[in-house]
Amino acid sequence: MKILLVEDSERLQLAIRAGLDNSGYAVDVVSDGETGLTYALKNPYDLIILDIMLPRLDGLAVLRNLRQEETMTPVLLLTAKSSVPERVEGLRAGADDYLTKPFEFEELLARVEALVRRSFGTRTPILEFDTLRIDPAAQRVSIANREVQLTQREFRLLKYLAHKADQVVSRIEIEDHIYSEHNLPSSNAVDSAICTLRTKLKKAGCLSAIETVRGAGYRFSSMETP
């Protein structure tokens, strides 16, 4: 999952980026509204965390522009403005959620997870496919109650594919959603990561969770256990 953080406070950028990164999200960070709008229009983010009081173009203007351009990426407004009219204004401008500063990081994370789940049409916080169980909040994967050790990147890949279960996902789409602009992958990084992930899942007892769709990409499908 890839998130765009538009926030002018460098310290908040540092903390949120680190926290989201540690929680299995790829994060792009920009400091002003204009750049934020450009990034949001150009890249397929799974979520945008948007400050309201931004230099050059304020967050509400960014949000209105996005919705005008029919970019329906979920937006979480993160701002010091906490009055009811300000919240209402933000939500009416097209935001999906609103969190006021100062905030608890756990709450931000929970809201991010909820918005991502909603955008993929998933209702439960834990993704379960037969014996495979993915807990995005705890960043744990288990098969038949046995934990599978995955790297941060493998976890992101599995989580994204699981959210898009039974859909064909191209390599480019995978790159777009699990790598931030600061960690751009090499040409066969996705294939390599898929290969490693498959091996780990097979070793844990999950035989054909990720299929290769020739010429199109990959598909996460229902489990077949031995």
Could you say whether residue 210 binds other proteins (CB under 8 A)? no
Could you say whether residue 85 binds other proteins (CB under 8 A)? no
Could you say whether residue 110 binds other proteins (CB under 8 A)? no
Which of 10, 130 has the CB closer to other proteins?
10
Could you say whether residue 15 binds other proteins (CB under 8 A)? yes
Which residue, 131, 124, 220, is CA-closest to 168?
A: 220
CB of 190 to other proteins, least distance (A): 26
Could you say whether residue 172 binds other proteins (CB under 8 A)? no
Number of residues that bind other proteins (CB under 8 A): 27
Sort strands 47-51 and 75-79 into parallel, antiparallel or unpaired. Answer: parallel
Q: What contacts 24+ positions apart, CB below 8 Å, involve 207-211?
A: 209/129, 209/132, 210/161
Among 41, 44, 69, 80, binds other proteins (CB under 8 A): 80
Stretch that binds other proteins, among 49-57, 166-174, 195-203, 217-225 (CB under 8 A): 49-57
Q: How far apart are CA 89 and CA 68, in angstroms?
A: 16
Residue 131 near residue 224 (C-beta atoms within 8 A): no
Could you say whether residue 182 binds other proteins (CB under 8 A)? no
Tally Cβ neighbours within 10 Å of residue 154: 19
Stretch that binds other proteins, among 54-62, 163-171, 172-180, 187-195 (CB under 8 A): 54-62
Could you say whether residue 104 binds other proteins (CB under 8 A)? yes
Which residue, 94, 101, 98, is CA-closest to 111?
A: 98
Using CB atoms within 10 Å of the CB of residue 222, give its burial: 0 to 12 exposed, 13 to 18 middle, 19+ buried. Answer: exposed
CB of 105 to other proteins, least distance (A): 4
Tally Cβ neighbours within 10 Å of residue 164: 17
Contact footprint for other proteins (CB under 8 A): 8-12, 14-16, 18-19, 22, 31-32, 51, 53-55, 58, 80-81, 101-106, 108
